[in-house]
Amino acid sequence: MPLLHADSDCWTLTVDAFASKSNSLLPRFFARYAEPDAEAEDAFTVPDWARSLCPSCDHCHRETLFAFPPASLLNAFVAKARTDGARAIVVTPLSVAASYWNKLLRASVVQNDAGYLRIRRQQAPTDSDVAGELAVFAVDFAPYASRSPTTAYPPG
């Protein structure tokens, strides 16, 4: 059985929610500031993190975000992800006492006792606000979304 349930559900990451052209892991990304090739300036200005209109086929598709937000934005990230019913791979500092932690655990689809994957960093950068240990969550907030219960996502 895979550690991340997302692997068995064939999630494909579609957009890097907190990136720049120089560090984005995906061709599509939301940047903090205006920059070439960014789909949006500031991820929080994107109307819906859960789905978007595909420019190639003109159909609505479900998004799967990669998110490694700054620690100061984690509560806002979880609030918007829940409201939108977003699906995401989220990297956070390992902080079980944080106010967002239990919300991530409830939405987690990770198939282990902890509900997340723990990563120990060999050495955290001295100028970083990220602790020495990280947690990686595969979350699906669709059941917690504030949308109408009849809203359906297209397959794929």
Task: Spell out the domains of the chain, with CATH numbers in brackets.
Answer: 5-144 (3.40.50)
CB 133 within 8 A of CB 94: yes
Per-residue pLDDT of 114-149, as tens digits, reads 899 998 876 655 555 555 799 999 999 998 886 544
Tell me 98's DSSP state. S
Q: How far apart are CA 41 and CA 44, in angstroms?
A: 9
pLDDT (mean) for 12-29: 94
Query: Which pLDDT band, with edges at 50, 70 and 90, does 2 fall under?
Result: very low
3-state secondary structure at position 151: coil
Q: Does the global pTM surpass 0.85? A: no
